[in-house]
């Protein structure tokens, strides 16, 4: 048992390490706002919007230091092999009651797992809209977050010091690399912030959702559906701020950036074409692309470096191993 726990923790932290290395290459700019609103210790329930599938959880998890558990769609756990690896990165399956009566027990297990994680002082991410859509607005909130908060504060868990952190995930676009991303942590909701008697269960849930929705909306970029391309760009620039676009650098850096993009373009094209096919008409494009690049790109770089090292010497192979990711980063950074 202890070996399994050690292996799971090792895989979790190794994956987080890779994600932290990969995000600066995949993203043009990652901005973290109000991180001081998130305590480094203690039970936390991070209530986030959900515009970009599993990628939302990866960005949040890479930003924080504590152990993170994320509620994810139960249907993703149907295949045992997939479920095993999802469990290693601390994903907890969540099922909807609308999926059938047999899922009610699974829903109870989701709550128990989440509360157990928070009792250990960990953080749990819940996507409060209950559905993922690639858009720039907060959708109506489901009751799942409110129910979990009520259970934590007033149920057997007795997590009276738990904080609910409204979290906003904001993306420039949802199709691959080179985007600005802002993760914003709002004002925490505490147990005593709500005035409704917790015994008036449905009324208490409604008040909780009203408070949560108001605080989440402060942290989320909202763009009307009918906005033109120029209006959308103007809204994004105002939201992300004037410092969100990195400097283009000098002529040397721009030349290196162009070279980096040129040598990676064929490989990137293979990945994007494959991902576009397997994620057609779904919201999983970014998640699938980032996941493939996260594990396969280092493997490809290692194999190329070993081959070059065999023919040109160890130092040349080692230089190539360091240079390729650096060129990928510069290609994304200096455009």
Any idea of the CA torsion for 94, 87, 15, 20, to the nearest 10 degrees?
A: 20
Q: How far apart are CA 145 and CA 125, in angstroms?
A: 10
Domains of the chain: 2-239 (3.40.1130.10), 251-333 (no CATH)
Measured in whole angstroms, how far is the alpha carbon of residue 284 from the centre of its chain?
A: 12
* Stated pTM of the model: 0.90
179 contacts 172 by C-beta, under 8 angstroms: yes
User: How many whole angstroms separate alpha carbon 59 and alpha carbon 72?
Assistant: 15
Lowest mean pLDDT among 51-55, 81-85, 132-136, 206-210: 81-85
117-135 tens-digit pLDDT: 999 999 999 999 988 999 9
Residue 177 has pLDDT above 60, yes or no: yes
The mean-pLDDT minimum among 91-95, 144-148, 208-212, 261-265 falls in 91-95
* Rounded Cα–Cα distance for residues 283 and 140 (Å): 18
Rounded Cα distance between 196 and 47, Å, is 20
- Chain-centroid distance of CA 310 in Å reads 39
Residue range 154-163: average pLDDT? Answer: 91
Tokens of 63: 């930003």
């Amino acid at each position: 048992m202890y070996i399994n726990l050690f292996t799971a923790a090792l895989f979790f932290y190794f994956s987080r390490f890779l994600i932290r290395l990969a995000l600066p290459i995949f993203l043009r700019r990652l901005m973290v706002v109000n991180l001081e609103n998130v305590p480094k210790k203690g039970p936390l329930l991070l209530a986030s919007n959900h515009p970009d599938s599993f990628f939302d959880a990866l960005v949040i998890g890479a930003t924080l230091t504590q152990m993170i558990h994320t509620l994810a769609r139960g249907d993703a756990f149907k295949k045992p092999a997939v479920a095993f690896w999802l469990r290693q990165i601390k994903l907890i399956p969540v099922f909807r009651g609308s999926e059938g009566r047999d899922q009610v027990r699974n829903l109870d297990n989701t709550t128990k797992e989440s509360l157990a994680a928070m009792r250990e002082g960990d953080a749990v991410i819940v996507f409060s809209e209950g559905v993922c859509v690639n858009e720039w607005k907060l959708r109506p909130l489901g009751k799942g977050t409110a129910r979990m908060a009520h259970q934590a504060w007033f149920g057997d868990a007795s997590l009276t010091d738990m904080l609910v952190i409204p979290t906003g995930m904001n993306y420039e676009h949802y199709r691959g690399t080179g985007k600005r991303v802002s993760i914003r942590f709002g004002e925490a909701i505490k147990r005593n912030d709500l005035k409704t008697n917790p015994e008036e269960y449905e009324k208490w849930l409604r008040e909780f959702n009203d408070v949560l929705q108001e605080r989440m909306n402060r942290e989320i970029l909202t763009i009307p559906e009918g906005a033109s391309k120029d209006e959308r760009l103007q809204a994004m620039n105002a939201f992300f701020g004037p410092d969100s676009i990195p400097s283009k650098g000098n002529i040397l850096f721009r030349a290196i950036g162009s070279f980096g993009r040129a040598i990676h373009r064929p490989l990137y094209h293979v990945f994007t074409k494959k991902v576009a096919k397997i994620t057609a008409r779904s919201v999983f494009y970014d998640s699938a692309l980032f996941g493939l690049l996260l594990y396969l790109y280092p493997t490809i770089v290692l194999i190329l470096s070993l081959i070059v090292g065999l023919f040109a010497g160890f130092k040349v192979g080692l230089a190539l191993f360091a240079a390729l990711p650096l060129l990928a980063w510069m290609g994304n950074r200096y455009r």
